[in-house]
Amino acid sequence: MAGGWSVRRRDLLTGAGAALLGTAPLSACTARPVRRGPPALVAEVTRLLAARGRALAAGDVEAAAAGCAPASAGARAELRRADTAAVRAGLTSWSVDVEGVDEGVEGGGDRDARVRGRLRVRVVGEGREVAGPWSTALVRRDGAWALALPDAAGAPHPWDLGDVRAHRVPGGVVLLVRPGHDVDAAADEAAGRVAAEAAEDLPAATARVDAAWGPDWPRGTAVVVVPTTALAARLAGLDPRRAAALDAVAVGQDAALPDGAPAGVRVVLAADRFARLTRAGRTATLTHELVHVATRATAGARPAADGLRPVPRWLSEGCADHLARLGLDVPAAALAAPLLRAVAAGAAPAVPADEDFEATGARLQVAYAAAWTLVTSAARRAGTPAVTALQRRLGTAPGRGGEPAAPLAERLDGACRATLGTGWADVQRTWRADVAGGLVGWGP
């Protein structure tokens, strides 16, 4: 039921933004994998998976389990519980692209084969299917093959963690996960408040991204709210310490769907961390994540000749923060405090390396502050449309209007000249002067 909850289906704004999983360049993942294994077995497994997907999409939990043979009564109960939760969350598509079927991989007995592939799922309100790695064992049942679900080898989905309540609004859907165990009543209530606020903010955040980036992205994003950072880490496949350093996490494999366009992204909010942000900080963080959703949906460039990603992390994170913070009444010096403190202590402003965004603590905070100030410095002189054009140019394949293929340093300089009207070295000099001056004149 649109517009309502359904059971059917740190300092200011300076917290780190998102961890985007599946960081292999999209264009490197577009080729369809060759199916391997005995043709008859591959065909049988493909049939089983297709039947399960049709049943789940139709909301028929009994039929979805018909081709499955979990190893224990507990596993059978968990399969039924997760399937029921998925249907209530609004699951509308479930399919597996089979990449291989291996026989004799588990030492004989009745578990002597395994299927692996890519799972694609979508719930009502999502604009694109979300993809992720998937595998399960195969077992013999009455002389035929069956799926030994559930399997812990694949990336979990919200319904794998507990019951899910869906709130569909313009711009997407908010999925509130209620594990029902290992979470006290206070944490559950806090997650409910965060989910309600996210549902209220999602339409406006989507409109802000449209205004800044453009409408050429699927405006249907699932925002998943979980009570704890530990649960967010499970959904994202992150070390809990890494997840604890992030205000939000974007999950989904970088890959192309059968239509050739990128797979979707979900945004995960851990209520125990997200609720600590200021109200403005929560709004900015949600917008930041939607910028990532939009930019990935329009990306298609291959890695540069030196193997580096087409769009450096400082640009993707800095652009997301710049667009998310436009118009906020927060002093620039407060937003950039980690960087300004480091410079006051004697450090020279340095363009963050990609690996700096995988750090924790002060190094991560400085990286985000440096990225935001670098992009905002460029935007103050050339305009926000120019910095979004810079990211688009680097993220677009050369044959489709992107920067010509070359080592990243050359592509970056050429893209800066084409969009900002000056070279990369000049962009850095201006930024360092702004930082050295304490961002005086930048305003709130």
Query: How far from 352 is each of 149, 214, 317, 363, 369, CA to CA, in Å?
Result: 43, 27, 10, 10, 10
Arithmetic mean of pLDDT, 323-328:
91
- Tell me which residue of 380, 432, 390 sits closest to 414, measured CA to CA: 390
pLDDT at 307 over 80: no
CA distance 419 to 389: 6
The per-residue pLDDT for range 336-370, each reduced to its tens digit, is 999 999 999 999 999 999 999 988 899 999 999 99
Average pLDDT of the chain? 87
- What's the CA angle centered on 379, arms 340 and 315, to 5 degrees? 70
- Whether residue 17 contacts residue 321, with contact meaning beta carbons closer than 8 Å, is answered with yes
pLDDT value of position 29:
37
Dihedral angle of Cα 217, 220, 221, 225, to the nearest 10 degrees: 170
Strands 266-270 and 249-251: antiparallel
- Whether residue 147 contacts residue 67, with contact meaning beta carbons closer than 8 Å, is answered with yes
Q: What is the pTM of this model?
A: 0.88
Looking at the chain, the whole-number percentage of residues with pLDDT higher than 90 is 67
CA distance 68 to 137: 10
Give the burial string for 335-370 (b: 16+ CB within 10 Å, else e). Answer: bbbbbbebbeeeeebebbeeebbebeeeebbbbbbb
pLDDT at 4 over 90: no
Of the pLDDT bands very low, low, confident and very high (cuts 50, 70, 90), residue 219 is confident
Q: Which one is the CATH code of 26-151: 3.40.50.1100, 3.40.950.10, 1.10.287.70, 3.10.450.50?
A: 3.10.450.50
pLDDT at 58 over 90: yes
Q: Domain-by-domain residue ranges, the chain? A: 26-151, 303-444
The per-residue pLDDT for range 237-286, each reduced to its tens digit, is 888 888 888 899 889 888 888 888 889 999 999 999 999 999 999 999 99
Contacts of residue 291, defined as CB under 8 A and 6 or more positions apart, other chains included, come to 209, 212, 213, 319, 320, 323, 324
Q: Which residue has the higher pLDDT, 98 or 153?
A: 98
Q: Which residue has the higher pLDDT, 330 or 57?
A: 57
- Tell me which residue of 2, 8, 7, 12 sits closest to 335, measured CA to CA: 12
pLDDT value of position 405:
82
pLDDT value of position 110:
47
